[in-house]
Amino acid sequence: MSNLPAPTVLLSRYFNHLKMNNWSATTISRRDYVLNKFITWSSERGIESVTEITAESLAAYRRWLYHYRNERTGKPLKFCTQASYLSTVGHWLAWLSEQGWIDSDPSTGIELPKEEQRLPSSHLTIDEIETLLSSVDLTTPTGLRDRALLELFYATGMRRAELIALKLDDINHESGLAMIRQGKGRKDRVVPTGKRALGWLMKYLHDGRPALLDEDTQVIFLTSRGNAFHPVTLSQLVRSYLTAAGITKPGSCHMLRHTTATLMLEGGADLRSIQTLLGHEQLNTTQIYTHVSIKRLREVHDKTHPGAKDRPPQSDTE
């Protein structure tokens, strides 16, 4: 192919293909970052055309990912990140092959690294979450906002981006339900807010939000400038409350999501209900919480294991 377009041009056409197939802007942005990194890596090694990408060069790229260290922290890439990068490159190469830009897909024989089965990050106990909630100053509009958003995080287990995107019409005050529109995977779902969270939300909407409102917007949670939150800003806000409450466990917004799932499971909720609440596509994603929630397993063990109630060994001095 003498008139073969440059890799960046083919990359642009690939993204247009994804857009036409209704891929989310977030996913496309992430793939844009990964694939441009791969093109830069290839160019630095003399690979200027997609026809020059081979199974051998992909194997070298995989080795490079394995040995890569973050310049700031010195830490390696997680295996799940390495697998994601390789999978993204493989999807692009498969598309190039389907479109006839390359004769065959050189990524078909590349084995992805096995991902770790990791438990969720730390979660809060009931006492810790109540301490967190009660630490908010309720005498200011921003304090009412913060109490409402912390309560809603805790009640629903929604993701950070989902809470930021909530609009006034997404809350049904009569039924106590919240509509989460276009969550992860671009799927809508409805979740219960709980009476307490709904009460604090209504108080914020009545007594707090009007003072923060700068121009007409349907977004529920507003910054002091009247704008919607940036994800990083919201995480920093939640982290500041955790620190002020004396909670040193790592995490912020996502830790509240883990807290919701874990405490509900310990309270007797079934996995299917938690799966629906969190918006997990696969049940095995939700099943990780069965490893975190040890309370019920300990109770069952104490009641049913034959050796659980045996007398402990006596010391020689007794």
What amino acid positions are annotated as catalytic residues?
Answer: 159, 184, 254, 257, 280, 289
**What single-letter amino acid sits at 100?**
G
Collapsed DSSP state (helix, strand, coil) of residue 69: strand
DSSP code per residue over 163-225 = HHT-BGGGEETTTTEEEE-S-TTS--EEEE--HHHHHHHHHIIIIIHHHH--S---BSSB-TT
- Tokens coding 6: 């440059």
> For residues 22 and 27, what is the distance between their CA atoms, to the nearest angstrom?
11
Q: Nearest-CA neighbor of 179 among 171, 157, 202? A: 171
* Closest CA relative to residue 155, chosen from 195, 121, 189: 195
DSSP 228: B
Contact 216, 194 (CB under 8 A): no
Count of CA atoms in the C-beta half-sphere (13 A) of 148: 24
The first and second tokens of residue 31, run together, are: 């793939």
Residues sharing a CB contact under 8 Å with residue 55, sequence separation 6 or more, in sequence order? 106, 107, 109, 110
